[in-house]
Amino acid sequence: MSTSAARPVDVVVVGAGFAGLYMLHRLRGLGLSAVVLERAGDVGGTWWWNRYPGARCDVESMQYSYSFDPALQQDWHWSERFAGQPEILAYAGHVADRFDLRRDIRFETSVTAARFDAGRGRWLVETDAGAWEARFCVMATGCLSTAKLPEIPGIESFAGRRFHTGHWPHHPVTFAGRRVGVIGTGSSAIQAIPVIAAEAARVTVFQRTPNFSIPSRNKPMDGDYEGWWKRDYGAHRRRARMMRTGILYEINDKGAMEVDPAEREAIYRRRWEAGGTSFMGAFADLITSQDSNDTAAEFVRGRIREIVADPATAEALAPKDHPIGTKRICVDTDYFATYNRPNVTLVNLRAHPLAGITEAGVRTGAGEVTCDDLVFATGFDAMTGALAAIDIAGRDGLLLAEAWRDGPRTHLGLMSAGFPNMFFITGPGSPSVLSNMMVSIEQHVDWIAGALGAMAARQAGVIEPTAAAQEEWVRHGMEVANRTLYPRAASWYMGANVPGKPRVFLPYIGGVGVYREICDKVAAEGYPGFSLSRAA
């Protein structure tokens, strides 16, 4: 594509999920021209793609929503404590309409390449529907937007219907009367299995690694609770932004071993009954002390053994290979109880390894299970997958794939040295997936908008992190991660689910509030660690 054919714009934003939508709104406020390029047919990102049965948020809806517009958060009413996918998608659509965003979004447009022309200080962004030329490029491409099928021999030979939770069809899918195989037991599967099992003739779950899951206790929105939030939304949001996870909930400041076993049990039980991810706030040291973590893990294993009637199934469902919380903790509705249904069977792939997929179903060490449908709840090439799929070349033709060969290298998760004027929203090296993503998205968008405003004031044309600042941030990120139990789990946080992906801890675990203070300080001090210049 020649530069002359490219349409000029101040900023190209890639992705029209919650990050891209808010970025576009802020860019307009700065008086910049912008286009959003989006592969999907409409806005919503994650919530446009993940339409599997049972899909819903695991951060309470009163918090899993934008805070940037006081009228929006007052006007919108969530019908449940944890909203389902259709309602979250409707919310994204409402925001797009309310702020008239769609006129600057090109749907069904996939970005294939982005090349920086240092001489002209422009990014040339190529798509399957023409090219764009921009001073700035914002990658709002999502951390969990590249669905991943597993490397299982014979996967293409299956003759029945095949689904991936992250790429679910837009037409209604019924499982009535069908024999369904589900591969995977992460958050997506844990939400989908109970709903599929309620409809299907038979469900066989193929589990490689069991996961910890806490009941959501989802329910219709309580008017008093909604009122509590809305009466002082601004103040509650400000507090949430300074929490470790960006979620406002009570965190016990005691360590688990500081209380006696009876009190510990009572605290866990209260959190279990309350439901949701706040279980991990039961004690301050659950992600840093193995001994403390063991007590929480054993409590949850105890509940699984209580709920699941068949002892062998309960034991197979009880996670023992990773500390609780070091893989994103799951939140469910009736997940473990679903295994008491006569039409649901668990196949433990650790005991009976998966041999392959055949035309008729799934073959394991225990024999072949015939299936009409296969549901792959096998996750994503997380955090870097969507960026790696774009051929990105920065200064002097430096390829992002090359620069990140041993793992992503960013300064603050926001930019990477050698890639001037390219920003990442919730990129690797920022709290992103370890947080309420809405909080992290808004924080990144606001920081980027602030940086663009500062550049305009200084008449700077180019911003780029220094190599020294980036190396220090990467080192600091690893140091902080190594103070926790997280690196002990073979998780997608570590890139462990993608063969050949470097094993580095991808998000920043220093905490959402701490991270915000670091970013704010950088902005307040005139962007140390970044070079701002007039020209490239």
Binding site for ligand NAP (CB under 6 A): 57-58, 144, 150, 152, 165, 183-189, 191, 208-209, 328, 331, 349, 354, 377-380, 433, 492, 497
The angle formed by the CA atoms of residues 58, 61 and 64, to the nearest 5 degrees, is 75
For residue 300, which of 286, 312, 285 has the smallest C-alpha distance?
286
Helix, strand, or coil (residue 140): coil
Q: Which does 141 bind (CB under 5 to 8 A by kind): ligand FAD, ligand NAP, none?
A: ligand FAD
User: How far apart are alpha carbons 531 and 428 in whole angstroms?
Assistant: 21
For the CB of residue 11, give the shortest distance to ligand FAD in the complex, in Å: 15
Q: Which partner from the list ligand FAD, ligand NAP, none does 63 bind, CB cut-off 5 to 8 Å by kind?
A: none
Least distance from C-beta 492 to ligand FAD, angstroms? 11
Least Cβ distance, residue 432 to ligand FAD (angstroms)? 8
The DSSP code for 232 is: T
- Angstrom distance (rounded) from CA 331 to CA 339: 16
Bridge partners of residue 125, in order along the sequence: 114, 132
Q: Which does 331 bind (CB under 5 to 8 A by kind): ligand NAP, ligand FAD, none?
A: ligand NAP
Minimum Å gap between C-beta 60 and ligand NAP is 11
Strand stretches in 38-166, DSSP E: 105-106, 111-117, 122-127, 130-139, 161-164
Q: Which is nearer to ligand NAP, 139 or 377 (CB)?
A: 377
Q: Which does 379 bind (CB under 5 to 8 A by kind): ligand NAP, ligand FAD, none?
A: ligand NAP
Q: Which does 46 bind (CB under 5 to 8 A by kind): ligand FAD, ligand NAP, none?
A: ligand FAD
Identify any residues that bridge with 84 across adjacent strands, giving them in sequence order.
Answer: 56
Distances, alpha carbon 26 to alpha carbons 23, 298, 319, 427, 501, in Å: 5, 46, 44, 19, 34
Strands (E), 216-332: 330-332
Decide which of ligand FAD, ligand NAP, none touches 377; Cβ closer than 5 to 8 Å per partner kind: ligand NAP
Which of ligand NAP, ligand FAD, none does 94 bind, CB closer than 5 to 8 A by kind?
none
Assess contact for 373 and 160: CB atoms under 8 A.
yes
Q: Please state, in angstroms and rounded to a whole number, the distance separating the CA atoms of residues 521 and 515.
A: 10
Tell me the closest approach of the beta carbon of residue 224 to ligand FAD, in angstroms. Answer: 23
**Distance from CA of residue 35 to its chain's centroid?**
24
Angle, vertex CA 260, rays to CA 254 and CA 266, nearest 5: 80
Measured in whole angstroms, the distance separating CA 281 from the mean position of its chain's CA atoms is 20
Distance, CA of 55 to CA of 313 (rounded, Å): 25
Widest distance between CA atoms in the chain: 72
Structure tokens at 325: 């919380």
Provide the β-strand partners of residue 214.
331
Q: Which is nearer to ligand FAD, 369 or 414 (CB)?
A: 414
- C-beta of 18 vs 380, nearer to ligand NAP: 380
To ligand FAD, the closest distance from the beta carbon of 450 in angstroms equals 19
Q: Closer to ligand FAD at the Cβ: 50 or 333?
A: 50
Smaller CB separation from ligand NAP, 183 or 200: 183
Q: Cβ 272 to ligand NAP, closest distance in Å?
A: 17
Give the position of tokens 């991808």: 506
Q: Whole-number minimum distance, CB 27 to ligand FAD, in Å? A: 15
Residues that bind ligand FAD (CB under 6 A): 14-20, 37-40, 45-46, 48, 50, 55, 57-59, 64, 110-111, 140-145, 166, 188, 386, 389-390, 425-426, 436-437, 441
Q: Which does 39 bind (CB under 5 to 8 A by kind): ligand FAD, ligand NAP, none?
A: ligand FAD
Shortest Cβ 321–ligand NAP spacing (Å): 9
Q: Which is nearer to ligand FAD, 139 or 200 (CB)?
A: 139
